[in-house]
Structure 1
Amino acid sequence: MDTILFGASPAFPIKKSLSLLSLPLSTNQFAFSSNTTGDKYLRNSPHKVEESRGTSRDDVATFGEAAYEAERLRLDAEARRSMAEASGREAADETDPRAWKWAIRKRVWDMMEAQNVARFPRPVHHRIPNFVGASAAANKLSELEVFRVSKCVKVNPDSPQKQVRFLTLDGGKKLLTPQPRLRTGFFSILQSHVLTPSTLNEACTSVGVAKYGRPIGLDEKIKVDLIVIGSVAVDPNTGARLGKGEGFAELEYGMLRYMGAIDDSTPVVTSVHDVQLVDDIPVEKLLIHDVPVDVICTPTQVIFTNTQIPKPQGIYWDKLSPEKLGQIRVLQELKRKIEEETGQKLPSGPSEKLPPTAQRWR
């Protein structure tokens, strides 16, 4: 993807802008890009996007928690091997617009391991890295006014944000979290009133989300007040952020934007270790789908970035390859729906070679 968008996105608080659902349906407004090997999200419907079943407590009960977790770890390892291969190809290709990102990611991952601030699971390479002081950073995040007043918080499923997920539920808020790598479903909602003190901590894990969460689809009417996002590196001066390179945060953001659950004023917060703060992410090289952050919480400080980087406006179809689209049922249904409503055929991105598709429970 080499399209670059310039403009300003005011920091919160501001008045809520129009959601994507109220904007004219043009191919540009509904574009999205993501490196994803997503799986089944929606049942086929010629007229509407319906709710996905996703992974449920029945799956966990049927297959057993140990088997469920073993399969998740196997798929994670497979995905990381594929990511490592892809990063090597992209980093070596000087014409690839993503090559510079891998240099920064590798430097941060290497530094975290060398300084021993990395925590399980290790090595942290090709992950949203867990780090020493992740709970302290989460506690600082929970003290933010935007967190305290939020009723629904979307939090990524990675290890360093587990305490954020716990504090969200412990505070009586709704927790919206995606299935890991979106491989078995779309999003799940968890609510503290269906949990007990003994199940609250478990509900913050992948198995717990499957056991206690309610899967939702794109037709869900929901308002997300705060987005918590994992990062590999983030620039405190600009709010520019790099993830692990798969693009799931961007995919999730674009989906929520389409649902009308978020808009430009929805704050985006990340929690990282101080060594993950960098000053060499070139804003002019960011891609149109890259999600900037408004606030950074580390174990030692809280930084308000006042980012001026535009936030993505939706889904960029001209960057989504046919192969990737073929693996993501929810996007196939959404594309069909938009084309039916507008009478216009949406564009497709260039072809690409994808890693093996993650298997889902059967």
Structure 2
Amino acid sequence: MSNIDQAKEAVRDQVWRLLEHEGAVPEGSYGKIPGFNGAEATAKRLAELDVWNQARTVKANPDWAQLPVRIRALKDGKLLYMAVPRMASLQPFFLLDPATLELPAEQAAEKEGAAQVARRVSVEDMRPIDVVICGSVAVNRSGARIGKGAGYSDLEVALLIEAGFVTDETVIVAPVHQLQVVEDDIPETEHDFSVDLIVTPDEVIQCPNRRRPRGLVWSDLTTEKIEAIPALKARFL
């Protein structure tokens, strides 16, 4: 484990322990993108922003923590792309179109519901993304973020950047609990992206230091990771 990886892991550990100690997350949240108390209020605050109201397409992680935002996107009539868990498909995104849903938004936005009714699409078949909703364990006010360490958010964004669907016009948002906003520096590597907005139940934070990769950083990917993700393996061959 590199020094950067160790530093990131120390921040994760601190935030997970703090969230559990303060009762801000359900038991068993350590090691996960935490579904936090106040997630619904956070989704409501996000939905009040101009950037949300102007958005037509939203891409979100499949974590439970982002469920209220995914529901809100469908109820607000937005086209929703939801990552297939662990990107375990050559078509690594679910497409949820509120105009054709066969389930209520609350069910369709869940992983199980999306698997039933959503069409799987390849990166090339997607549309430009207006808002990216990324699950995070910790963020700081400059926009640096840390996930749970699996790297899927980074890969999803990198693939969409390469395809031209995440651009300088795309706004990346981290909906989190206030306790997940840390004052510490968060180390970043070449493949990391930063967020443009942090939304908590209490506030909206504009982040000044935008950072985005130019695409996939193959040198940061292990052979095992490439083999495990069909969309990467197909590009690598």
The TM-score with structure 1 as length reference comes to 0.63
Instruction: Name the CA distance, whole Å, in 2 between partners of 1:266 and 1:180.
Output: 23
Q: Does 1:135 align with 2:135?
A: no
Q: Does 1:113 align with 2:14?
A: no
* Corresponding residue of 1:243: 147
- What stretches of structure 1 move > 4 A for 4+ residues in a row? none
Larger radius of gyration: 1
CA contact (8 A) 1:220 1:259 kept: no
* Correspondence 1:290-305 to 2 at 5 A: 290-305=192-207
Higher RCO (C-alpha 8 Å, min separation 6): 1
Aligned length: 236
* Corresponding residue of 1:186: 92
* Correspondence 1:1-362 to 2 at 5 A: 90=1, 95-119=2-26, 122-184=27-89, 185-195=91-101, 199-236=104-141, 238-282=142-186, 285-306=187-208, 308-336=209-237
Instruction: Name the CA distance, whole Å, in 1 between partners of 2:117 and 2:185.
Output: 39
Q: CA RMSD in A?
A: 1.5
The TM-score with structure 2 as length reference comes to 0.94
DSSP 3-state at the match of 2:165: coil
Instruction: Name the CA distance, whole Å, in 2 between partners of 1:117 and 1:273.
Output: 8
1:193-217 residue CA offsets vs partner (Å, 9 max, x unmatched): 1125x62211011111111111111
More strand by share: 2
2:222 partner amino acid: S
Instruction: Name the CA distance, whole Å, in 2 between partners of 1:221 and 1:163.
Output: 23
1:268-302 residue CA offsets vs partner (Å, 9 max, x unmatched): 001111111101124xx310111111111101111
Q: Percent identity?
A: 34
Instruction: Name the CA distance, whole Å, in 2 between partners of 1:172 and 1:329.
Output: 31
DSSP 3-state at the match of 2:136: coil
DSSP 3-state at the match of 2:127: coil
The gaps in structure 2 that reach 5 residues or longer are none
CA contact (8 A) 2:191 2:220 kept: no
Q: CA deviation at 1:219?
A: 2.2
CA contact (8 A) 1:264 1:311 kept: no
CA contact (8 A) 1:229 1:271 kept: yes
Instruction: Name the CA distance, whole Å, in 1 between partners of 2:104 and 2:97.
Output: 12
